[in-house]
């Protein structure tokens, strides 16, 4: 129960931070902190957790930012699945791989968003969108992965230690 509440608090705080980012810091771009959370949890906890976090964060993003439900949920879930594939292969302390995964996820997400919404209406050319929106947001998300991954790693480590203690307790064994 404690783990569910902690992860729910992760999602809520990350969503709140992402929603208030443009108000607090006016740089013109909004990093996708929910995507950073999905990649971080998938990298630290595996595919199943990555997909679960991706689905929850994607539905939350769809409800607040998208004109229809399912676009972000699908892309976040796929990103969580792909990022979770590295769970057994790489060390969780390494921040470089989550940075690359968050950048790749952000790039694909923004590119798909352009193809679905902007291209359909013919408002913006591809190169102006690529250099004016997609790449700056990808770089910002990649750079913001460093501090956020450190925070998520710290709390995930605390939860993992608590889970291990519960498993070793003779009172809680079945």
pTM of the model: 0.87
* pLDDT bracket for residue 68 (50, 70, 90): confident
Alpha carbon separation from 60 to 33, 40, 152 (Å, rounded): 12, 17, 19
Tens of pLDDT, residues 40-56: 999 988 999 999 999 99
Question: Which residue did the predictor score with more confidence, 73 or 128?
Answer: 73
Span 8-65, pLDDT tens digits: 998 999 999 888 876 556 677 778 899 999 999 999 889 999 999 999 999 999 998 8
DSSP 171: T
Q: 146-159 pLDDT, tens per residue?
A: 999 999 989 888 88
Q: Helices 2-24 and 47-65 sit at what angle, rounded to 10 degrees? A: 40
């Amino acid at each position: 129960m404690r783990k569910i509440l902690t992860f729910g608090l992760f999602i809520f705080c990350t969503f709140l931070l992402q929603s208030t980012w443009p108000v607090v810091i006016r740089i013109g771009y909004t990093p996708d902190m929910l995507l950073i959370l999905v990649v971080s949890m998938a990298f630290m906890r595996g595919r199943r957790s990555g997909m679960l976090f991706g689905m929850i964060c994607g539905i939350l993003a769809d409800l607040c930012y998208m004109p229809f439900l399912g676009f972000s949920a699908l892309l976040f879930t796929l990103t969580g699945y792909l990022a979770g594939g590295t769970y057994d292969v790489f060390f969780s302390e390494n921040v470089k791989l989550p940075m690359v995964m968050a950048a790749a996820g952000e790039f694909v997400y923004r590119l798909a968003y352009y193809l679905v919404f902007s291209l359909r209406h013919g408002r913006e050319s591809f190169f102006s969108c690529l250099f004016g929106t997609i790449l700056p947001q990808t770089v910002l998300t990649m750079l913001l992965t460093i501090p956020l991954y450190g925070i998520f790693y710290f709390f995930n480590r605390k939860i993992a230690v608590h889970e291990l203690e519960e498993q070793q307790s003779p009172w809680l064994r079945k």
